[in-house]
Each structure stands twice: as C-alpha cells, then as structure tokens.
Amino acid sequence: MVDIAASGGSFQMWVVFALILGALGFYVRERASMELTSLGIICFLLVFFSFFPVIDTDGRNIVTPARILHGFSNPALIAVLALLVLGQGMVRTGVLDQGATFLLGVTRGRGGMLLTLILLLVVVAAISAFMNNIPVVVIFIPIMQALSVRYRRSASKLMIPLSYAAVFGGMTTLIGSSTNLLVNSALIEMDMAPFGFFDFSIPGTVMAVVGLAYVIFIAPYLLPDRTGVVDEIGDGSGKHFIAQMTISETSDLIGKASSGGLFPHVPNKTLRMIRRADETILPPFEDYVARSGDVLVVAATREALTRTLSNDPDSLHPDLDDGQLEPADSEEQRRWKEGEQVVAEVMVAPGSGLTGLTLPQIGFRYKSHCIVLGIQRRSRMIRSQLTDIRLEAGDVLLVQGQSDDVSKLRASRDVVLLEWSAAEVPALKRAKRAGMIFLTVVGLAATGIIPIVVSALCGAAAMVIVGVLNIRQAFQAVDPKIVTTISAALALGVALQETGGAAYLAGHLVTALKGAPVAVILSLFFLLVAGLSNVVSTKTAAVLFTPVAVDMAVQLETSPIPFAVAVIFAANCSFASPLGYQTNLLVMGPGHYKFTDFVRAGVPLIFLMWVVFSLFMPWYYGI
C-alpha cells in the first residue's frame, strides 16, 4: 500500500473528482444503464482505496470497503425502499385511485377548470408530503387526462404542473422525498444532529405555495399546446367493451328505478340493453325497476370494469350455462375467483378457431382458466348480450385470471395476448388495512416515537403480513435503480468527505465569495446546487453537496442547518430537465413533451424558487 497521508490526500481527492465527473457523464449520456454505472462506481472505489488508502493519524485506512458498501445498508435507503413498498400497498388496494376519482367526481359541475386544477394539485402536493411521489403521479396522470378531455384542454398544459406539484409536496416533510432522507442520513454520517419530521415544513410550505401558484397560473401559458391525434383518440384507455352485469340477490341495485328513460345507478357505464328471463328491454328504459336475476348489458371502459370487478367480481362473471360438466366447486371453477387476479386484453387472431362461435360454445374459461369480462369490436358498438356475441377476427377480449393462466395465453394460436395490457386487479377489500398501516407509519414517524426507518420497515412488513401485498409484489416495488444509484452516491459522498474534497470545494466557494454576507453565500450556494440537480439526479446532488454545505458552514462559523436545508430544497429543484426527477419522466409520454418543454417551464421556476429561498430563509433562520 502507498501511504500518501503526508500529501493531505490530494491525489485521492483529484481521482474522486475525476470519478464524479466521469460518472455524471455516463448518467447523462446513458451509455450504460444506471444500475451498471452505479455498480461500476462502487467497484472502482473499492479497488482504488485498497491500493491508495486514506490514512488517519493512527495509521488506519478510513475509506474501508465497509464504509464504501455502507450505502446498501444505510437507514435512509432502507426507509426509502420501505416507503416504496408502502406506496405500492396504497396503489394495490386502490386507495389513491378511489380518492382521486372521488375528487374528479366532486368537481364535476362545480366551478371551472381553474378551481378543479387548484384542488387537484393541492391534493397531489399534500399526499406527496407523506408518501413517495412516484405512485402519486402515476395515479393522477389519468385524472389529469380526464380533466383535459372534460374542459377540452391539451394534456400538455397539465402534466408538467402535475409533476412539479408532487415535487413541491415532497419538500415539506422529512419523508416527502428520498432526497430529504438522504441529506438527513449524510448529516448523521458526519455526526451532525438529524432533522425532525417537520423541521423544514414551514419554509418548505412557503416554497410549495409559491411554486403551486406558478404552475397553476403561469406554467400553462409557457407550455405548448400539443393537441393532436394522440389527444383526440386517447391512449387506448377510453375504448369501450361490451360487458354484462348480473344483479344478484344481495345487489344494491335491486329496487332502483330508471329516471327519464335512463338508469343512472351504474356509474361510468352506458346501459345498452336489459335481459329479464326471455324478455329484452331496450332504451329508453321507461318505468324500469331492477330485480334480482336481471342481466344488464353495458358499454364501459376497462378502468370502469376493473373498478366494478374489485368491488363485486361475481357481477361481471357471465353465467355461460354451456353444458360443461365441471362441478361448481372444482379447482377450475375457482381459479378466476381465488388468489391474485390480473386483467389483460387478448385479440382474436386471424384464422382463429374461435371465429363465428359464442362464449358458451367455446368453453373459453374451462380451457384457459380465464374468464371473459367484455368484448370490444372496433367496427361498431354491439347491442347484444355478451354470451350471444359471435366472435370475429380482431375482436379484443377483456379477460381475468391468475397471472400464470393469463401468461399461458401467449402459447394460444387462437388469441394474441397484448403484453402491455396485463395489470393486477386492485384489492379494494384490503384498502382499510393499507390505509391504517400507512397512517400508523406516518403518525409514529411524525411524533418521533420511533425512528422513520423503523416505522417504515415495520409498515412494509405489515403490508405483507396482513395480505395487502405478497412477497413478489413487495419486491417488485423495490426499484433497482434507486438501490444502486443511492448506494453509489453515498459511497461517493464518503470518498469526497474523507479525501478532503468537500472541504476543498467549500473553501474555494467561501474564498470566491470572501467578504459577502452569509445570506448571499447561502443564496448563491442554493442556485449552484439547483442548477446541477438538473444535470445529475436529485439524489446524487443531495449526497455530494451535503458535506460541502456543512464544511461551508463550519468555515463561515455559522449553523449548518440552513445550508443543509438549502441542499434539500435546491436538489429538489430539478424542474428544467426530465432526467433529474423520475416524475418528470413519467409525464413525458402523456404530455407529449420534448426536452425543451421542461427547460421552458422549469428555468423560470428555478429562479423563482431561488428568489423565494433567498428572501425567506435568511429571515427564518436569523442569518
């Protein structure tokens, strides 16, 4: 080994600087996957510091493999992953989806586009303060699409504001963003006092309110109107299937009457025909009163049918009465009623043996163990009972079954499985359990009764124990990009701190601004970090600049807290690039955005956040 302690660690420091620049180049240009780049960084650090250790006064290497690999077991990373599992549980049970749909329904006919947008974005920000904002944005994307259709506004005017609103909410609490947790973890690593749950909530709320005002009143005018073919026909989620609902003896529909020739008691569905024994009732449905056994033929989107399937699955399972000898309680009969269910779409292939046959004649459910919920025919909307429709090539069948059974349809010559269409059926019956677990985790973390990592990890385990998620679903919620990127960033942070790189950067920044008030230095430091967070990921910026922030505060002989808060807020200001924050990437497709659209809307917002921070923070912290 080479002992270069006498040189002040400058050689290792410059190598770390070069590695950081090289890593940023790989991340931005995407020459390799983020996971591979991150693992490469960690491996380089392990090998380099084995040959060129940083020696302390006792002759020990202070950048050991254990410290470099500590990121994989870092409490902040564990908390982030546990929160992802909790968020997946909320999505899996449809809690967020139901709430978002309820909000959209409440605003219907009450106020215009502006009031509805304000309400939705405020709710997005509020939810994002307490859970990872990625599932929040995923849930609200179709809500924003529905809003754009209702008010005939382009989705490109709404999607970036949605992403930004989620980021604003994440600025207000410690668990609102993984960036916040990482800065907190870096402080703990440096033997500094960690943040409390609401320690920066007041300045975070101020910045969030100003930011929301910007995205509501200004950003839509800066964003392009990309209304076109994609907006007009939608992304496929608006196509309607013919399905049939059987009114059971315990159904809430029994006794419900028509009104004005319509039957409004099946929301989000268009009633096309009613079959009562041998009688067919066609619209207008005058004097109709629902009875047990009635079959309602409806046209509805996949989303609406899936919601009904979650609440009352048997109502959408047609009674084929196809002469099969399968006993009612056989395993084959139960497979689409038990276990984790998925909904997918399959297309009747050209030359299929199903062509010209009805579902009772095919026996599809007994051959595939999947049940057909609806049929969609591109040429016209059918007015016929589901079980009477003779299939044609090109028909799309909405099917439900266990994941393995749906996957086996790939091998069928009669149908083509549309791979993108498979999605799990929300487990609405477990929504209360998921909600209680989530509220308990937030309550324990907010009150400080137990550390955030403990409450989050126990909450994630509880989601599995009570059946909200299974082990496979929990692990699917863990994003390998997050694991490797955060671990690499933490490893770089350790190397930067221990080689003197953080102190070197802090010293030069302080020297360059020599004589300037602390408030001015803090302001310019915020602008520097905010700018770089749009080039690198927010997590990388947070981890790398936290030790620099603390060293700057030490050299200025002031409290490190405002500088650490500056890192939190600035690192979250990745508004001018889709690369810096995952929610920006999520809205690119639905909003039909180009890279320059984020620059157009994001750069003014960054400067606005800088002005607000520069005016409010010195007063709030008494600088």
Same domain (yes/no): 203, 255: no
- Beta strands 371-376; 279-281: pairing state: unpaired
C-beta of residue 523 within 8 angstroms of C-beta of residue 591: no
- CA-to-CA dists, residue 273 to 188, 238, 586, angstroms: 65, 21, 39
- Is 235 a member of any domain? no
Same domain (yes/no): 224, 82: yes
This model's pTM is above 0.85: no
Same domain (yes/no): 255, 167: no
- What's the pLDDT score for residue 229? 37
The per-residue DSSP string of 212-227 comes to: HHHHHHTHHHHS----
| DSSP SS3 for 31 | coil
| DSSP SS3 for 313 | helix
At 207, the amino acid letter reads: M
Instruction: Cis check for the bond before 284: say yes or no (omega within 30 of 0).
Output: yes
Same domain (yes/no): 184, 269: no
- Is 175 a member of any domain? yes
Matching residue, tokens 């003197």: 500
Extract the runs of DSSP E, i.e. beta strands, from 403-454: 415-417, 423-424
- What's the pLDDT score for residue 205? 95
What backbone torsions phi and psi does residue 621 show, to the nearest 5 degrees? -95, 5
Q: Which two tokens stand for residue 621?
A: 């912290």
Within 13 A of 63's CA, how many CA atoms are on the CB side? 29
The per-residue DSSP string of 330-375 comes to: SHHHHTTTSSSEEEEEEEEPTT-TTTT--HHHHTHHHHHS-EEEEE
As for how many domains the chain has, the answer is: 2
| DSSP SS3 for 198 | coil
C-beta of residue 33 within 8 angstroms of C-beta of residue 10: no
User: Within a 10 A sphere around the Cβ of 404, how many other Cβ atoms?
Assistant: 11
At 268, the amino acid letter reads: N
**SS3 helix, strand, coil % of the chain, rounded to 5?**
60, 10, 35
Cα distance between residue 513 and residue 504, in whole Å: 14
- What's the pLDDT score for residue 379? 59
Cα separation of the two ends of the chain = 46
Q: Which two tokens stand for residue 25?
A: 């180049």
Same domain (yes/no): 87, 217: yes
- Is 114 a member of any domain? yes
Same domain (yes/no): 217, 274: no
Domain boundary among 409, 444, 476: 476
- Is 448 a member of any domain? yes
User: Within a 10 A sphere around the Cβ of 114, how many other Cβ atoms?
Assistant: 12
Same domain (yes/no): 103, 209: yes
User: Within a 10 A sphere around the Cβ of 517, how many other Cβ atoms?
Assistant: 12
- What's the pLDDT score for residue 370? 85
Same domain (yes/no): 219, 94: yes
Q: Which residues of 84-108 are buried (b: 16+ CB within 10 A; e: fewer)?
A: bbbbbbbbbbbbbbbbbbebbeebe
- Is 606 a member of any domain? no
Same domain (yes/no): 120, 212: yes
Q: Which two tokens stand for residue 503?
A: 């102190």
| pLDDT, block means (10 residues), the chain with 623 residues | 42 86 75 82 91 81 86 82 83 71 64 81 90 79 76 85 93 88 84 87 95 94 69 50 85 84 81 84 84 87 79 72 46 63 85 86 83 80 78 87 83 79 69 86 83 88 88 82 81 83 80 86 92 78 86 89 94 83 78 85 95 94 86
- Is 471 a member of any domain? yes
Same domain (yes/no): 157, 280: no
- Is 454 a member of any domain? yes
Same domain (yes/no): 222, 265: no
Same domain (yes/no): 186, 266: no
C-beta of residue 552 within 8 angstroms of C-beta of residue 505: no
Domain of residue 287, residue span = 248-293
- CA-to-CA dists, residue 54 to 7, 33, 477, angstroms: 10, 30, 38
Domain boundary among 443, 476, 509: 476
C-beta of residue 415 within 8 angstroms of C-beta of residue 347: yes
Quick one: 478 exposed, middle or buried, by C-beta within 10 A (0-12, 13-18, 19+)?
middle
- Is 93 a member of any domain? yes
DSSP conformational letter for 2: -
- What's the pLDDT score for residue 215? 94
Cα distance between residue 26 and residue 464, in whole Å: 37
